[in-house]
Amino acid sequence: MGNKSRSESRRVPALPPEHFLNRELQALAFNQRVLAQAEERATPVLERLRFLCIVSSNLDEFFEIRVAGVKEQLKLGAAAADADGLAPREIFARVTEVAHALVDRQYALLNDEVLPALAKAGIRFLRRGEWTAAQQEWVREYFFREMMPVLTPIGLDPAHPFPRVFNKSLNFAVALEGRDAFGRDSRAAIVQAPRVLPRVIRVPRAVAGGEHDFIFLTSILHAHVGELFAGMNVLGCHQFRVTRNSDLFVEEEEVKDLRKALQGELPQRHLGDAVRLEVDDTMGAEMVAFLLEQLGLAEPDLYRVNGPVNLVRLMSVPDQVDRPELKFRPFSPGLPKAVARSKDIFETLRRGDVLLHRPFQSFAPVIDFVREASRDPQVVAIKQTVYRTGTDSVIMQTLIDAARQGKEVTVVVELMARFDEEANINWAARLEEVGAHVVYGVVGHKTHAKMAMVVRREEGRLVRYVHLGTGNYHPRTARLYTDFDLLTSRPDICADVNEVFQQLTGLGKATKLRLVWQSPFTMHARVIEAIDAETRNARAGKPAAIAAKMNALLEPAVIEALYRASQAGVKVDLLVRGVCALRPGVPGLSERIRVRSVVGRFLEHTRIFRFANAGEERVWLSSADWMDRNFFRRIELAFPVTDPKLAQRVVREGLRPYLEDNTQTWEMRPDGTYERRKRGRGKRRCAQAELMAKLATP
C-alpha cells in the first residue's frame, strides 16, 4: 500500500542502535515493576496475590506474541529488525535469562510471603498432607462426582501418540508401571484437565478448618490419579503447561469475508507452535526431556516452578473471599457537577464540553450518552467504533436496542483486536441480526480510535454530538484503567469525527481534518512538528516544554525528535507506563529528558500530549501510543482539549500529580533499568490516591 510504504521509509533511524532500548527487555522490566507491587508489604495481601496473577497473565501474552515472534525470526534466519540493532538470537538469550529470574522471584514471593500471609489471615490452601479424614472423604467424593466423568486419560503407545496439548491448558504427565487390560505396557500417559473444572476449589464450611479454605485441583487429581489407571502403579504425576504462538495470521487483502476467515483461524490459536513449557519442579529429568522433545522445545524454553503452573487461575480467590480489610479500599466514582445536575445529556453538551477522568469519575455518562440517544425520538443516527468491549456490555446491548427501535445504527467493529476477536465477532453477528450497519474498518489497519457520534434533529436541522476517549468502551476496564473521556458538541470536532466515520464506512480520498490528528495520515507528522516547534522555541528563547503520558514509546523518528528537543534545551517529561526505547539522561543526547513509570492500583492507560507552544499551551488526548503500529498501521485519533479550563484539568489531574508522585513512581536510568523514586524528607505524594480523594464520591 502506497501510504504505508512512504511512512515506513521515514522510520529508518538516523541514530546508532545504542541510542535505542530493546522492546522485549523493556516489557520484562515493566513486569518487574508490577511484581514489585506484590512485594510491597504495605499492599493488602489479597491485592498482593492479584498482582502476582497479573504478572503471570502479562507473561503469558509476552510469550504468546513477543517471544513467539522472536522465535519465528530465528527460524527464518532474520537479521536485526528494530532500531536497537539486536539480532534475534541475542534478544532470545537475554529475554530467557531475565524471564527465568523473574519467574523464580515470583514463585519465591508466593511461597515465602504471600501464601504464609494469607494463611495468617485465615485464607488457606490445604496441602494433601494436611487433610483431615473428613476433608479426605470430601475430596474423594468431589473427584468421583465432578472430575472423573470429564477426565480423559491418554495412554502413550503407537496407537495413541502424544496429544495436541491446547495453549495454556493444565495437563498432567503420569509415569506408570504394569500392563493394562489389553496387555499393553505403556509407561506414560497424559491427563488433560478440562477448562470447565475450576483450578481452585473452595472447601465447604462443614469440613473446612476455617472459613476460607481452598484446595488446588492439582492436589485432588494427584490424590486420586490412580483411579484413572486401574490395576497399574502410578510412579509419578506432574503438572505441566504449554504456551503457544497465539498471533493470528489472516491475509486480510486476500480474503473475501474477514469475519468468516477469522472464525476459521480462531481454533488454531490453541494449537500454534510451542514457545514455552512450564512444569512443576518435582518432575524428573527423563519426563522433562520427553516433553521437550514432543513439543519441539529446548532447555532454555523450560520453566520449572514451585507451585501451580498457572497462577492466573488464582485471580478468582480475592473475589471469592469477602474480607474488605485485605483488599484496596472500595470507592464510588464521582461525577462532574455539570453532569450530576443534568437530566438531559444533550442539553448539557450544548452548554459546554464534559470531561471525565476514570476510574476516579464514573463511566456512566458515556453509557447514558448512548442510552439517551437510543431512546430519544429526535435522534436519527448513532455511529460508534468498537475495539474492546467485553462479552457483557451495556453499550453494545443499547446499540442493539437502538437498531430495533429504528435508529440508523452504524458500528465499526475491529475484528482483529487481539484476544477479543471472538467476542467482537459475536457482537457483530447480533448487531447485523437487528439491522444495524456493521463494518470492519479498513483492510490492513486496525480501528483503534475510540469515538461515538449521535446525530439529532433539532429545530429543523441535524446536529452532531460526539464522544472521544483514550480508553475502550469496556465496563470492567473502565473501573480498572485510568482514561479520559471528552463529550462535546463543538461543530469543528464533530465534523472531523464525521469525516473519519465516512472514511471507515465508505470509499474516497482522505480529506484534511480541521482539528483532529489522525493515523495513518497526519498524526506522526503532527507529533514530530509539535516537538520540533518546541525545539525552535527553545533556541529562540521562548517558553518551551513537553510533557507526555502514554503506555509505550518506541517509534524511532519521534524518539530522535525528542533527543533534538533535549539538546536544544527543552525540558521533556515523559510518563511511559510500559515499554520505552528512549534512553533518558544521556550526556549530550538526552540530558533534559526524564522518563517515569507509575505502577499502582489502577493500570495507567491515558495518553496525553502537552506542548508549551511559546506560552500558548496546547493539550491533546489520544487513543494512540507513540509506536510504529499506532502511527502507521492503525486508525487512531488525537484530539485537542479546546476548553481552557478542561485543558488545565487534564494537566492538573493527568500530568502534574504523576510527575510529583514519590510513592508509585519508577525513574528510568540511561541504561534502561528503573529505580524506585525515593520520597526523601518531602510530603508523601501518591497520584492515584490523591485523585481518588479529589474526584471520587466519599
Identify the CA nearest to 505 among candidates 583, 408, 372.
408
The rounded distance, in Å, linking the Cα atoms of 690 and 661 is 10
Instruction: Strands of 404-557 (E only): list them.
Output: 408-413, 437-439, 446-447, 450-458, 461-469, 481-488, 517-519, 545-550
Ramachandran angles phi, psi of 104, nearest 5°: -60, -45
Concatenated DSSP letters for 95-130? HHHHHHHHHHHHHHHIIIIIHHHHHHTTEEE--GGG
DSSP 67: I
> For position 342, what pLDDT does the model report?
83
Q: Which residue out of 212, 222, 445, 448 is catalytically annotated?
A: 448
Cite the DSSP H helix spans in 131-204.
133-142
Angle at 487 between CA 482 and CA 491, to 5 degrees: 140
Q: Does domain 127-314 have CATH number 3.40.50.300?
A: no
Ramachandran angles phi, psi of 209, nearest 5°: -85, -15
> For position 7, what pLDDT does the model report?
39
The rounded distance, in Å, linking the Cα atoms of 538 and 72 is 45
Q: Label the pairing between strands 188-192 and 171-177.
A: antiparallel
Active site residue 238: no
The rounded distance, in Å, linking the Cα atoms of 582 and 556 is 9
Let me know: does 416 contact 248? Beta carbons within 8 Å. yes
The two domains 127-314 and 518-695 share their CATH topology (first three levels equal): no
**Which one of 3.30.450.40, 3.30.870.10, 3.40.50.1110, 3.40.50.300 gives the CATH number of domain 518-695?**
3.30.870.10
The rounded distance, in Å, linking the Cα atoms of 634 and 444 is 8
The rounded distance, in Å, linking the Cα atoms of 339 and 335 is 6
Angle at 468 between CA 462 and CA 474, to 5 degrees: 120
- pTM, rounded to two decimals: 0.92
Identify the CA nearest to 115 among candidates 125, 105, 106.
125
Domain boundaries, given as residue ranges, for the chain: 127-314, 337-509, 518-695
Q: Which residues pair with 676 in a beta bridge?
A: 666
Whole-number Cα distances in Å, 248 to 129, 634, 652:
44, 17, 41
The rounded distance, in Å, linking the Cα atoms of 189 and 229 is 9
> For position 78, what pLDDT does the model report?
83
Q: Which residues pair with 412 in a beta bridge?
A: 385, 439
> For position 443, what pLDDT does the model report?
75
Let me know: does 475 contact 363? Beta carbons within 8 Å. yes
Q: Which residues pair with 304 in a beta bridge?
A: 279
Residue with the three cell numbers 522485549: 24
Averaged pLDDT in 10-residue chunks for the chain of 698 residues = 38 83 97 97 97 97 95 87 90 97 98 98 95 96 96 79 89 86 73 93 93 96 93 92 80 51 52 92 94 96 96 94 96 92 92 97 96 96 91 90 94 75 82 91 86 96 98 92 98 97 84 94 97 98 98 97 98 98 98 98 98 97 97 96 98 98 97 90 91 91
Residue with the three cell numbers 499502582: 600
Superfamily for the 337-509 domain = Endonuclease Chain A (3.30.870.10)
Identify the CA nearest to 254 among candidates 19, 433, 40, 443.
443
Ramachandran angles phi, psi of 623, nearest 5°: -90, -5
Let me know: does 399 contact 374? Beta carbons within 8 Å. yes
Instruction: Strands of 109-228 (E only): list them.
Output: 123-125, 152-155, 171-177, 188-192, 200-202, 212-216
Let me know: does 410 contact 381? Beta carbons within 8 Å. yes
